């Protein structure tokens, strides 16, 4: 009686026939994930090297210098925390911080409000010249702040365009040297920041509004919501992340402002527009106190991180 013979297939070959592979072969072959990570690091390394060299290392070096007594010429000596003690005992620091907090209103709060208003007016509107309008409104953020400061210093002068406009409108009694006025210099400086930053907020919000689902507006219209309620209950919640980004960027601009203040008022009149960044510059280059300037820079960095963290906390998306 003939016996049926079935071909004998070894386990490795059977595994290959089923489309698999032996465990030994899988262990011998290097994992693909490790190779992908290595290639990813190769792409990241150039940018990481630049960041470490121009951001992390200077920050660590500033922290080291804040613990030294050095005039920039003679060999430094150890000072410990005496530079920080001197900084916190100086009332000029607290006045400068207060001025920076006031500038947050003009550099952050008002530009965000203007950006939201312009977004409400321009969102969904397709008209001729709209692209040109957006470019013109965003242009102040592209211009160097030094050029912006020089231009506005001329506009605010006694014979500048602002006072000429007031004369033409019958408000000549209000004319003054705005950046030299003891009471109004900080406000005049803040309005320059409002003019320069509002376009950035508008562009951020217009870009964010494009990702909002149109079905939400249709549902709001079916519920009888008008344009204002649609903007309040649909657009603004949909722009929460963009508002957070704008708040962080503009708050940093306000707290770390230097070039605009240096060019327009240089802290005057009588210190009414002093900001921490300007004090850092004076300590380092006018008084030759590199250690004190570094300590103040560290304190300013901590203040910026604390305020920005608070902004992110109050504007975070809780959904």
Over residues 217-223, mean pLDDT: 89
Of 260, 261, 270, 101, which Cα lies nearest the Cα of 182?
270
Under CATH, domain 92-314 is a member of which superfamily? Answer: MetI-like (1.10.3720.10)
Stated pTM of the model: 0.83
pLDDT single digits (tens) 49-97 = 999 999 999 999 999 999 999 988 889 999 999 999 999 998 999 999 9
How far from 50 is each of 6, 40, 180, 306, CA to CA, in Å? 67, 17, 41, 26
Residues with Cβ within 8 Å of residue 76, at least 6 apart in sequence: 65, 68, 69, 70, 290, 291
pLDDT of residue 242: 93
SS3 268: coil
**Where do the domains of the chain lie?**
92-314
Give me the torsion for CA of 312, 314, 317, 319, rounded to 10°: 150
């Amino acid at each position: 009686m003939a016996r049926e013979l079935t071909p004998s297939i070894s386990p490795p070959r059977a595994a290959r026939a089923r489309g698999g592979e032996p465990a030994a072969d899988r262990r011998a072959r290097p994992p693909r994930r490790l190779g992908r990570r290595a290639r990813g690091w190769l792409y990241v390394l150039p940018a990481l090297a630049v960041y470490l060299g121009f951001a992390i290392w200077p920050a660590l070096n500033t922290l080291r210098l804040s613990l030294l007594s050095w005039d920039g010429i003679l060999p430094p000596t150890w000072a410990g925390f005496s530079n920080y003690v001197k900084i916190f005992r100086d009332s000029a620091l607290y006045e400068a911080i207060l001025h920076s907090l006031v500038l947050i209103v003009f550099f952050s709060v008002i530009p965000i409000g203007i950006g939201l208003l312009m977004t409400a007016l321009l969102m969904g509107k397709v008209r001729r010249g709209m692209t040109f309008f957006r470019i013109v409104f965003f242009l102040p953020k592209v211009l160097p702040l030094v050029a912006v400061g020089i231009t506005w210093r001329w506009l605010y002068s006694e014979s500048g365009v602002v006072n000429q406009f007031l004369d033409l409108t019958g408000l000549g009694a209000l004319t003054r040297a705005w950046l030299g006025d003891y009471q109004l210099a900080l406000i005049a400086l803040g309005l320059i920041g409002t003019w320069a930053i509002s376009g950035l907020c508008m562009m951020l919000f217009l870009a964010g509004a494009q990702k909002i689902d149109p079905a939400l507006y249709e549902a709001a219209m079916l519920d009888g919501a008008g344009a204002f309620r649609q903007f309040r209950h649909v657009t603004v919640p949909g722009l929460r992340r963009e508002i957070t980004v704008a708040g962080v960027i503009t708050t940093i601009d306000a707290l770390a402002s230097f070039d605009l203040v240096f060019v327009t008022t240089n802290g005057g009149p009588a210190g009414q527009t002093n900001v921490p960044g300007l004090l850092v510059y004076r300590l380092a280059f006018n008084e030759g106190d590199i250690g004190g300037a570094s300590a103040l820079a560290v304190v300013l960095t901590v203040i910026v991180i604390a305020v920005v963290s608070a902004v992110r906390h109050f504007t975070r998306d809780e959904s």
